[in-house]
Copies of this chain bind each other. A is one copy, B any other.
Amino acid sequence: MGRTSTARERLVDATGELMRSRGYGSLGVAEICARADVKKGSFYYFFESKQALTVEVVDAYWREERATWTAELAASAPALERLRSLLELAPVVQRRGKEVTGTVDGCLLGNLALELSTQEPDVRDRLDGIFDEQIELIAGVLAEAAAEGAIPADRADLAAARAVVAQLEGLVLLAKLKNDPAVLDALWPQVRMLLGA
């Protein structure tokens, strides 16, 4: 039992690592199994397809990221400061990643959204749900910031929250392209402008 449950976890972990830098299309089941040290027959015992495995990888990635988001947003500080702390993690995370792998690998969720959202419906549905959750988390803290008078009331809507997430994903794209986490140092000042803060 311990042995089988470990194999399943190794498949999810190995795919998460490989997919972050390599994407989806160029990654084969054989390579995933080799990295996870699992036999190919076992792969199809646990997962019916690469798509099914990817949904679990995406879930595991967001579970961890969401824990960070909710912890930052639940801290005891004014709402706008909590949002700032959360967004200022983006360059920190990408710098840390680059120290390990040598590359700015960006956000697995954004990478997969642009690579394959028109193709793999199960992955796309999951990603869509996750980005909706992100936008709702941001909208919640914007509503608090408006109540505290830190931003205008008309900047505390879903459209503004979506623009914050879009700014994050767009700058991650440019940081990945330049392989330079410093591109993300501009995130907070630009978001402040977006919010009229």
Contact = CB atoms under 8 A, between A and B. Distances in A.
> How many monomers of this chain does the complex have?
2
B176 A163 contact: no
Contact of A174 (B21, B160, B166, B179): B166
Nearest to A158: B186
A190 B186 contact: no
Interface in A143-197: 155, 159-160, 162-163, 165-171, 173-174, 176-179, 183, 186, 189-190, 193-196
Given A128-B178, A171-B166, A177-B127, A190 B159 contact: yes
A188 to B, nearest CB: 11
A190 B118 CA distance: 25
A103 B167 CA distance: 23
Contact of A186 (B159, B170, B173): B159
A115 B114 contact: yes
A101 B118 CA distance: 10
A71 B116 CA distance: 32
Interface in A12-49: 21-27
Contacts of A155: 193
A111 interface: yes
B103 A177 contact: no
Given A190-B194, A194-B194, A23 B115 contact: yes
A177 B110 CA distance: 10
Given A127-B177, A177-B124, A114 B104 contact: no
14 contacts: A22-B119, A23-B24, A25-B27, A113-B177, A160-B190, A163-B170, A163-B190, A163-B193, A166-B170, A166-B171, A166-B174, A169-B169, A193-B194, A193-B196
